[in-house]
Amino acid sequence: MPLASQLLTGLVALLHVYFLVLEMFLWATPFGRKTFGRTLEEQEATKALAANQGLYNGFLAAGLAWSLFAGDAMAFPLRFFFLGCVVVAGIYGAATASRKILFVQALPGAAALLVTLLARG
């Protein structure tokens, strides 16, 4: 079970690296516009906000990665905290921005958190 926790946490971290790239670098590109279903004008007008959001996703990814390389005493508390942040952010995003965020962010985070708690015993 600890391996499953690590693998799912790594997957969630990679998702957040993807979100960082999408929001910081691809936001106003055709791919970004298609992904978010917005016009070029909307994407250009919100580019700075999206980059800020992407940076926060990067911090989540960094914290999750840290939990994978931290010593035994720190790994669980770090993973629990950062996965909890992912779940809360995903629920908030689903409630305020797009229901899709519940499935793309909150659900993977919740699965990793559940497996992590089960692995802890």
pLDDT score, position 59: 98
Segment 1-29 mean pLDDT:
96
98: left (phi over 0), alpha (psi -120 to 50) or beta: beta
Segment 60-69 mean pLDDT:
98
pLDDT at 120 over 90: no
Segment 8-15 mean pLDDT:
98
HSE-CB at 13 with a 13 A cutoff on CA atoms is: 19
pLDDT score, position 111: 98
Residue 56's nearest CA partner among 29, 96, 90, 99 is 90
Residues whose CB is less than 8 angstroms from the CB of residue 75 and which lie 6 or more positions away in sequence, other chains included: 67, 68
pLDDT at 1 over 90: no
Segment 60-83 mean pLDDT:
96
- Percentage of residues in the chain with pLDDT exceeding 70? 100
